[in-house]
């Protein structure tokens, strides 16, 4: 297991900045960056065994949003290797334009529900995103109590959400009671002179009691605390991980004639730090 510095004092923050060439933590001096919390890795998938995703970590959502978890999307989620597979050290989630079970597209949505969940820590993934109007990839967390309290009472943490027609912008958001659906607590991050579909980037959160910090490539761009939400703070229990590639829907809109298929989200690794 990797040993990583645990720094809980702003007094030593300048030391971290001096050593930034050996540590991969941003030295953003924004006042919102109060704590850096990186310790031991407690979950890691490097996708180094070809075939289906590791069944000890990942399960599947199958079907469309008709069962209550969709957002007016157009795809049918499958567990077929055409839509989700590990190859050459990468997880590949692919959206295909095809007629399948009454839908015009297929894709995949994998999750750790019932297999792995955690309260607090750093959750991150290194991802190369797809592109095109109506393409909607996401890396996110849902409260483990969703089956008993429902959504949005369970809480949702969107570590990375992206519209394929805006290849320089990603979004980090919280959804909870009173601030969900089209009204989350959210902020966007925009690349300069680069695109998220041309190279890999690391998307992460650092989550603790009373805060969620959002990062792209270790740059802090958003911090949300109980004072920022317009309803109940519901982020003090276990959450599980979801990765998916949607087509269409309320966030990204429908594909158009210029949208090229297939489109693939490539994931190099997923890690959770204590």
Kindly report, residue by residue over 240-263, the tens digit of the pLDDT.
Answer: 999 999 999 999 999 999 999 999
Is 272 buried (19+), middle (13-18) or exposed (0-12) by CB count in 10 A? buried
Q: Which of 156, 166, 190, 206 is catalytic?
A: 156
Q: Which of 73, 87, 124, 161 is catalytic?
A: 161
Residue 208: name the closest of 117, 111, 118, 112 by CA. Answer: 118
- The pLDDT-based confidence of 168 (bands split at 50, 70, 90) is very high
Coil, helix or strand at residue 227: coil
Q: What does the alpha-carbon distance between residue 216 and residue 196 come to, in Å, rounded to a whole number?
A: 11
Q: What does the alpha-carbon distance between residue 226 and residue 170 come to, in Å, rounded to a whole number?
A: 23
| Span 117-132, pLDDT tens digits | 999 999 999 999 999 9
Residue 161: name the closest of 186, 183, 143, 179 by CA. Answer: 186
pLDDT more than 70, % of the chain = 85
Query: In the chain, what are the domain boundaries?
Result: 40-273
Contact call for residues 60 and 66 (beta carbons, < 8 A): no
**Phi and psi at residue 251, to the nearest 5°:** -85, -45
Place of tokens 């991980």: 241
Q: Across 40-183, where does the E strand assignment appear?
A: 41-45, 59-60, 75-77, 84-87, 90-100, 103-107, 109-111, 121-128, 135-143, 156-161, 169-175
| 166 assigned to active site | no
Largest CA distance in the chain: 59
Place of tokens 């890691």: 44
- Residue 68: its pLDDT value, please? 62
Q: How many Cα atoms sit within 13 Å of 108 on the Cβ side?
A: 26
Looking at domain 40-273, its CATH architecture is Sandwich (2.60)
Q: Across 46-134, where does the E strand assignment appear?
A: 59-60, 75-77, 84-87, 90-100, 103-107, 109-111, 121-128
- The pLDDT-based confidence of 5 (bands split at 50, 70, 90) is very low
| 209 assigned to active site | no
Peptide bond into 262 cis (omega under 30): yes
Q: Is the pLDDT of residue 9 over 80?
A: no
Predicted TM-score of the model (pTM): 0.86
Q: Is the pLDDT of residue 27 over 80?
A: no
């Amino acid at each position: 297991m990797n040993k990583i510095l645990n720094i809980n004092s702003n007094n030593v923050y300048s030391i971290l900045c001096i050593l930034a060439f050996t540590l991969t933590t941003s030295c953003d001096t924004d006042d919102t960056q109060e704590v850096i919390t990186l310790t031991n890795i407690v979950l890691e998938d490097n996708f180094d065994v070809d075939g289906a995703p590791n069944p000890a970590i990942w399960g599947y959502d199958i079907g469309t949003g008709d069962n209550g978890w969709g957002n007016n999307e157009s795809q049918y989620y499958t567990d077929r290797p055409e839509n989700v597979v590990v190859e050459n050290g990468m997880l590949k989630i692919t959206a295909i334009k095809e007629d399948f079970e009454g839908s015009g597209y297929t894709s995949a949505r994998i999750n750790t529900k019932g297999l792995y969940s955690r309260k607090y820590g750093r959750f991150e993934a290194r991802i190369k995103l797809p592109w095109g109007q109506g393409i909607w990839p996401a890396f996110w967390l849902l409260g483990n109590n969703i089956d008993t309290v429902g959504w949005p009472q369970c809480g949702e943490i969107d570590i990375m959400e992206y519209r394929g027609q805006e290849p320089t912008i990603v979004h980090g958001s919280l959804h909870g009671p009173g601030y969900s659906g089209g009204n989350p607590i959210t902020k966007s991050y925009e690349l300069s002179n680069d695109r998220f579909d041309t190279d890999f980037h690391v998307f992460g959160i650092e989550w603790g009691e009373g805060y969620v910090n959002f990062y792209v490539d270790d740059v802090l761009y958003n911090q949300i605390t109980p004072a920022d939400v317009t309803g109940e703070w519901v982020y003090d229990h276990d959450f599980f991980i979801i990765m998916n590639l949607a087509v269409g829907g309320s966030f990204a809109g429908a594909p158009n004639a210029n949208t090229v298929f297939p489109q693939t989200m490539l994931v190099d690794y997923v890690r959770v730090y204590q």
